[in-house]
């Protein structure tokens, strides 16, 4: 059973008015994400991992240095699908309901969450990700290098931002902080994060 690239949850041009161009999606979704899925299928073909779920492949390969190539492509395939859902047209704003209350109790409020998230995303050296996760029942902001994600850490990811250069270079050149700010102001999908919290 081959892994398939999940469709985007919106049209490739839907985020253009909000700071992420269709040209970025042409490369980021159409080439980078697609390549991770294709590479993963080639790597696991005719192996014991071919019939596992993507999450299972990530957990198994994360523990085995000999499977680093499988892990990198599996995690990146999963991370990107999660990232697309972490954004929406007319996103931004502030979370509400249970998520907002938990941000207040665990992280000291929405403004502190935003500052922690901006810091994590801006200070991830080189390629990687910033995440809002649930860790042993508490919200945390973390960053991970390269393809790494919260799944092998037994954390529940609620939201992510891709800070690999290919995520922002077409629209923002080298201005990663502007990309991060725009994500929080106009793109972030708090409904997705709230649904992930409710399902945890």
> SS3 for the chain, per residue?
CCCCCCCCCCCCCCCHHHCCCHHHHHHHHHHHHHHHHHHHHHHHCCCCCCCCCHHHHHHHHHCCHHHHHHHHHHHHHHHHHHHHHCECCCCCCCCCHHHHHHHHHHHCCHHHHHHHHHHHHHHCCCCEEEEEEEECCEEEEEEEECCCCCHHHCCEEEEEEECCHHHCHHHHCCCHHHHHHHHHHHHECHHHHHHHHHHC
Last residue of one domain, picked from the residues 85, 110, 131: 85
Say whether both 104 and 68 belong to one domain. no
Annotated binding site for Mn(2+): 28, 80, 162, 166
**Mean per-residue pLDDT, 100-124:** 98
Residue 176 counted as domain residue: yes
Name the domain boundary from 36, 60, 85: 85
pLDDT at 1 over 90: no
Assess if residue 15 is contained within a domain.
no
Q: Are residues 81 and 101 in the same domain?
A: no
Q: Using one digit for the tens of pLDDT, what is the confidence trace for 138-161?
A: 999 999 999 999 999 999 999 999
Angle at 23 between CA 17 and CA 27, to 5 degrees: 135
The whole-number pLDDT of residue 130 equals 98
Both 74 and 42 in one domain: the answer is yes
Residues 66, 141, single domain; the answer is no
- The reply to whether 13 falls in a domain is no
Question: What is the C-alpha separation between 78 and 4, in angstroms, rounded?
Answer: 11
State the CATH number of the domain containing residue 74: 1.10.287.990
Domain that holds residue 59: 20-85
* Spatial distance between the Cα atoms of 26 and 30, rounded to a whole number of angstroms: 5
Does residue 74 sit in the same domain as residue 164? no
Residues 105 and 183 grouped into a single domain: yes
User: Annotated binding site: which residue ranges?
Assistant: 28, 80, 162, 166
* Cβ atoms 147, 127 nearer than 8 A: no
Same-domain pairing of 105 and 79: no
How many domains, in total, are found in the chain? 2
In a domain, 134, yes or no: yes
User: Average pLDDT, stretch 94-118?
Assistant: 98
Q: Is residue 26 part of a domain?
A: yes
Q: Is the pLDDT of residue 89 over 90?
A: yes
- pLDDT at residue number 96: 97
Query: Which residue in the block uniquely carries the two structure tokens 């973390």?
Result: 142
Last residue of a domain, one of 85, 108, 134: 85
- Half-sphere exposure of residue 75: CA atoms within 13 angstroms, side-chain side: 27
Query: Are 117 and 194 members of one domain?
Result: yes
């Amino acid at each position: 059973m081959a892994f398939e690239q999940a469709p985007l949850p919106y049209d490739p041009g839907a985020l253009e008015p909000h700071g992420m161009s269709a040209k970025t999606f042409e490369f980021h979704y159409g080439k980078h994400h697609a390549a991770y899925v294709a590479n993963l299928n080639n790597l696991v073909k005719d192996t014991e991992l071919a019939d596992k779920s993507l999450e299972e492949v990530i957990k198994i390969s994360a523990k085995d240095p000999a499977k680093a190539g499988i892990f990198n492509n599996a995690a990146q395939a999963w991370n990107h699908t999660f990232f697309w859902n972490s954004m929406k047209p007319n996103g931004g704003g502030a979370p509400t309901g249970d998520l907002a209350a938990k941000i207040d109790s665990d992280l000291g409020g929405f403004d502190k969450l935003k500052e922690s998230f901006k810091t994590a995303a801006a200070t991830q050296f080189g390629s990687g990700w910033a995440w809002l996760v649930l860790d042993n029942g508490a919200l945390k902001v973390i960053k991970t290098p390269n393809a790494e994600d919260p799944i092998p850490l037994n954390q529940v990811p609620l939201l992510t931002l891709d800070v690999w250069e290919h995520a922002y270079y077409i629209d923002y050149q080298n201005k990663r902080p502007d990309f991060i700010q725009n994500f929080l102001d106009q793109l972030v999908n708090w409904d997705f994060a709230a649904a992930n919290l409710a399902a945890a």
